[in-house]
Amino acid sequence: MASAVIRKVCKTLPTINIFNRFSSRRYTSGASTGNLDIGKLGHVSLIGLNNPEKRNAVDPFTAKQLIEAFQDFEKDENARVAVLYGKGGYFCAGLDLKSLSQSEGNIKTQEPNDGIRAPMGPSRMMFSKPVIGAISGYAVAGGMELALLCDLRVVEESAIMGIFCRRFGVPLVDGGTVRLPALIGLSRALDLILTGRPINAKEALQFGLANRVVPDGTGLSNAIELANEIAAFPQRCMKADRRSAYNSTFDAETMMNGLQYEFVNGMKVVQDEAVPGAQRFKDGVGRHGSFTEK
């Protein structure tokens, strides 16, 4: 009964904001970029990217708001699990390359170890509670890195993931080179990192990148249902086991060293390749996931 109600509620998400009933906030910049929908259903925090006109690409404003949203989740003692999703049929197409093309490399001035700041927002945060990604449409480039930030990924059948930024010389600086090999192994990770190729839901499940594959249009409802299952368990025990699993994979120092190296290593190519590549994208190259120049 509960899951049926959740699915019914989630069907309304593209057209109306139902979260006003659930301590909702909506962050919106003065422009049409950088939107988040924040809501809560019981013990589940909902963080939704809401800029479907740009396939939920993340600009600096949105990155800042994502950090604040996850900080609020961490502080909320009543919130046990978070669900990160994208509205309008897309999870996230990555960094807003149009904003990068206009930055003249200013992204390079960010300090790599100034805490948790990163181009995509919260990708250097280490959560004390589980985060589930509801993946629909495109989760590519930096959007894939946001998906990797999640503990679990519920992936819709038609979803596409991939390191699409390979086409434009934009490096992975939001944890992709650190988390992906840990999740699926070095050989498979290099297959995706070096080629940038798209990976569909079926192959993502085979790789261990997807934890669940669900029918189109049900990703968010299934992610909420899974979050509620996790939220119902004794929390101290669950979080202790989760913490131990992460520690056995990489402890905090190893993780931060990896993220630091990734950032410094990647920033060396931003001015020479990423900014010109972003300009090519702005000029129309590579739209709709195309790997050709036309």
Taken in order of first residue, the domains within the chain and their CATH numbers are: 2-289 (3.90.226.10)
Lookup: tokens for 224? 């909420």
Residue 152 has pLDDT above 70, yes or no: yes
Average pLDDT over every residue of 190-197: 97
Would you state the pLDDT for residue 293?
54
Closest listed residue to residue 91, CA positions, set 220, 196, 264, 243: 220
Q: Is 82 helix (H, G, I), strand (E, B) or coil?
A: strand
pLDDT at 122 over 70: yes
Instruction: Please calculate the CA angle 114-101-116 and round it to the nearest 5 degrees.
Output: 15
pTM, two decimal places: 0.81
Are 117 and 189 in contact, with CB atoms under 8 Å apart? no
Q: What is the C-alpha to C-alpha distance for residues 206 and 189, in angstroms, rounded to an integer?
A: 13
Q: If you average pLDDT over residues 98-125, what whole number do you get? A: 63
Token reading at 288: 């709709």
Flag whether pLDDT at 108 surpasses 60: no
The three-class DSSP label of residue 193 is helix
Average pLDDT over residues 55-64: 91
Mean confidence (pLDDT) of the chain: 82
Instruction: Give the C-alpha separation, 268 to 111, whole Å.
Output: 13
> Are the CB atoms for 212 and 154 separated by under 8 Å?
yes
Mean pLDDT of 94-111: 59
Pairing of strands 212-214, 152-156: parallel
Q: Judge whether 87 and 125 are in contact, CB under 8 Å.
A: no
The set of residues, in sequence order, having a beta carbon less than 8 Å from that of 162 and lying 6+ positions away, is: 140, 141, 144, 192, 196, 197, 198, 199, 289
pLDDT, mean of residues 235-253: 93
Average of pLDDT values for 266-273?
75
Amino acid identity at 159 = A
For the chain, percent of residues with pLDDT exceeding 70: 73
- Asked whether the beta carbons of 122 and 150 are under 8 A apart, the reply is no
Tell me the helices (H) and strands (E) count for the chain, helix number first.
11, 10
